[in-house]
Amino acid sequence: NAGVMQNPRHLVRRRGQEARLRCSPMKGHSHVYWYRQLPEEGLKFMVYLQKENIIDESGMPKERFSAEFPKEGPSILRIQQVVRGDSAAYFCASSPYSGQEQFFGPGTRLTVL
């Protein structure tokens, strides 16, 4: 049973470009969480999704950031018109039900030049 998969592992973008980060949850998990980690900081919650639904996006910046978890395929975190401050590690976690242990992926490290 493969763990949580994230790709790409490293992503470099220039200011103004779009970044798309993908997360495939563990088999049988329908709950996905995205977190962001700035250098030397802990992880900060961004958004929680179930299949085809955004349940809690209270940690998402109001502009340029969006997330989806379609019926088929991975969850996508999309950042439009990236700025240098978006440089961070973005982690995805999944769980079988809300309130259960969250299993984390290896993260995507985004660098904005």
Partner 1 sequence: SQQGEEDPQALSIQEGENATMNCSYKTSINNLQWYRQNSGRGLVHLILIRSNEREKHSGRLRVTLDTSKKSSSLLITASRAADTASYFCAQPITQGGSEKLVFGKGTKLTVNP
Q: Is 18 in the site for partner 1 (CB under 8 A)?
A: no
Which one of residues 41, 52, 61, 73 is an interface residue with partner 1 (CB under 8 A)? 41
Whether the Cβ atoms of residue 111 and residue 14 lie closer than 8 Å to each other: no
Judged by CB, which is closer to partner 1: 18, or 56? 56
How crowded is the C-beta side of 72, counted as CA atoms within 13 Å? Answer: 0
DSSP-derived pairing of the beta strands 53-56 and 5-7: unpaired
Q: Tell me how many residues contact partner 1 (CB under 8 A).
A: 26
Structure tokens at 56: 């809690």
Distance from C-alpha of 16 to C-alpha of 6, rounded to nearest angstrom = 23
Which one of residues 42, 62, 72, 84 is an interface residue with partner 1 (CB under 8 A)? 42
Whether the Cβ atoms of residue 107 and residue 4 lie closer than 8 Å to each other: no
The stretch near partner 1 (CB under 8 A) out of 15-23, 55-63, 68-76, 80-88 is 55-63
- Interface residues toward partner 1, by CB under 8 A: 4, 33, 35, 40-45, 48, 55-56, 58-59, 91, 93, 98-99, 101-107, 109
